[in-house]
Amino acid sequence: MPKKVLGLLGSPRLQGNTADLLDTVLEGARLAGAEVERLDLAKMSIDPCVECRKCDADATCAVKTDDMHQIYARIRQVDAIVLASPIFFMSVSSQTKAMIDRCQCYWVERFVMQKRAYEGRTRPKGLFVACAGSPRPIVFDPARHVVRAFFAAIDYEYAGEVLLGFTDDPEISPRKVEAIEGARLAGKVLVG
Ligand X SMILES: Cc1cc2nc3c(=O)[nH]c(=O)nc-3n(C[C@H](O)[C@H](O)[C@H](O)COP(=O)(O)O)c2cc1C
Q: Name the site residues for ligand X (rule: CB under 6 A).
A: 11, 13, 16-19, 86-90, 131-134, 139, 167
From the CB of 22, what's the least distance to ligand X, in Å?
A: 9
The residue among 54 and 144 lying less far from ligand X, judged by its C-beta, is 144
Q: Name the residue number minimizing CB distance to ligand X.
A: 16
What type of residue is 25? V
Dist CA 99 CA 9 (whole Å): 11
> Of 162, 171, 155, whose CA–CA distance to 190 is shortest?
162
From the CB of 21, what's the least distance to ligand X, in Å?
A: 8
- What letter does residue 121 receive in the DSSP assignment? S
> Of 113, 23, 110, 100, whose CA–CA distance to 68 is shortest?
100
From the CB of 81, what's the least distance to ligand X, in Å?
A: 18
Q: Which helix (H) or strand (E) holds 128?
A: strand 125-131
The residue among 14 and 112 lying less far from ligand X, judged by its C-beta, is 14
The residue among 10 and 28 lying less far from ligand X, judged by its C-beta, is 10
From the CB of 7, what's the least distance to ligand X, in Å?
A: 13
Q: Do 8 and 78 form a contact (C-beta atoms < 8 A)?
A: no
The residue among 88 and 106 lying less far from ligand X, judged by its C-beta, is 88
